[in-house]
Amino acid sequence: MGLPTDATTPEAVGDAANAERVEEVLDRLRESGGRATTSRRILLTALFEEGPHHTAEELAIEVQRVAPDVHLSTIYRNLDELERLGVVVHAHLGHGPATYHLASETHGHLVCEFCDAAVEAPEDFFAELMDAASKRYNFTIDPRHFAVLGRCAACAQASLETPTN
Amino acid sequence: MGLPTDATTPEAVGDAANAERVEEVLDRLRESGGRATTSRRILLTALFEEGPHHTAEELAIEVQRVAPDVHLSTIYRNLDELERLGVVVHAHLGHGPATYHLASETHGHLVCEFCDAAVEAPEDFFAELMDAASKRYNFTIDPRHFAVLGRCAACAQASLETPTN
DNA sequence: GGGGTTCTTGCGTCCAGTTCGTATTTGTGT
DNA sequence: ACACAAATACGAACTGGACGCAAGAACCCC
């Protein structure tokens, strides 16, 4: 990683496509009176590049690999700003820090309380619940902001073998 | 409140019933090697007496009305202990502190992201979701530990009237 | 393309919620 | 009543995050 790649490799193509999306977001930022700063460009690049679940701290480390002086509080402020813009959303997967996602990739989460494994669930998985909430409680739910906790298959099995009491 | 009441008033009767339950829990504590301390007795009394959603801090205030020297960290440790015993559970209703409930009164929550209003939802409200999680993801969900966020009717109405963008 | 305005950043500090270490006190079985 | 283990008060530490401020960087306009 980090080595220069020529533009014909798949990941360089992906990078190029991401770079375009990053600039798109920066344009939107400018349109709304904001500015396209280096730290925002790097942060967005990290958000587009990496896996699905980033904490602010993980993103900071990623950004600091490129620009070591970017402060954690800048990451927080930029994430807030991007959230206000609708580019990212944050979610709480159990205890511990929040995770940030691209809004375009949002989904719900099932998180195991014992091993912290997270399963992503598409929005339609919650369709019935959303419908029921609307009818029974006149409530429009957004099932993506907090995880639904439980027990994954492996931990359920383990707890059968070594019961807690 | 706080004034002595004679045993024929309804609340005194309720108090008596609660006192019995408190002692029951303390017995269980003793059986598992724990001790029935005053602070635990008061804490349990508060848990049995009051409304549905207590934060640790609220419980501390309640306990300190009777025994001002009980430290907040004692509340936390006792809540942990009671949770290990299965007497209470805690839940996270959106951002901010956790809330503690008697395990016997557990339910899910729908919380409005805008006004923090919380609606309690019985377990059967989540039955379909639990079923689907089990079938599709082999996952046993416990929908009560984290709230499902969304927008209550009033706030949905308000946001129609003053749109965000 | 230089200058001024405004936005953003780095840094330090502060905050809430919770946990932990420790010396001391308090319940409990015997 | 005693001894021992468990619980307590107190304070300090810790995590995730917010904030105020002065210095720095983008942007717009001419």
* Protein CA A38 to sugar C1' C11 (Å): 19
According to CATH, where is 3.30.1490.190 located in chain B? 107-165
* Closest CA of chain B from A83, distance in Å: 13
Nearest to A146 among B128, B140, B149 (CB): B149
Where in chain B is CATH 1.10.10.10? 1-87
Angstrom distance (rounded) from CA A88 to CA A26: 13
Distance from CA of B72 to the nearest CA of A (A): 21
Query: Terminus-to-terminus CA distance in chain B, angstroms?
Result: 49
- Which fold, B1-87? Arc Repressor Mutant, subunit A (1.10.10)
pLDDT digit string (tens) for B53-105? 799 999 999 999 999 999 999 999 999 999 999 999 999 998 999 999 999 98
Rounded CA–C1' distance between B56 and D12, in angstroms? 20
pLDDT tier, A9 (very low <50, low <70, confident <90, very high otherwise) = low
Q: Is the pLDDT of residue A94 over 50?
A: yes
pLDDT tens, residue by residue, A132-154: 999 999 999 999 999 999 999 99
Residue nearest to nucleotide C10 (CA to C1'): A71
Query: Would you call B132 and A141 a contact, using CB atoms and an 8 Å cutoff?
Result: no
| H-assigned helices in chain A | 10-31, 38-49, 56-66, 72-84, 127-137, 153-161
Contact at CB, A148 and B137, closer than 8 angstroms: no
Q: Minimum mean pLDDT among A131-145, A148-162, B3-17: which range?
A: B3-17
Which CATH architecture best describes the domain A107-165?
Answer: 2-Layer Sandwich (3.30)
CATH code for the structural domain at A1-89:
1.10.10.10
Ranges in chain A annotated CATH 1.10.10.10: 1-89
Among A49-53, A117-121, B90-94, where is mean pLDDT lowest? A49-53
Q: Protein footprint on strand C: which nucleotides are under 7 Å from a CB? A: 6-13, 16-21, 26-29
What does the H/E/C string look like for A94-110?
A: CCCCCEEEEHHHCCEEE
pTM across the whole model = 0.86
Chain D bases closer than 7 angstroms to a protein Cβ: 5-12, 15-20, 25-28
pLDDT tens figures, B99-116: 999 999 889 999 998 888
Work out the pLDDT band at B51, boundaries 50, 70, 90: confident
CB contact (8 A) between residue B125 and residue A132? yes
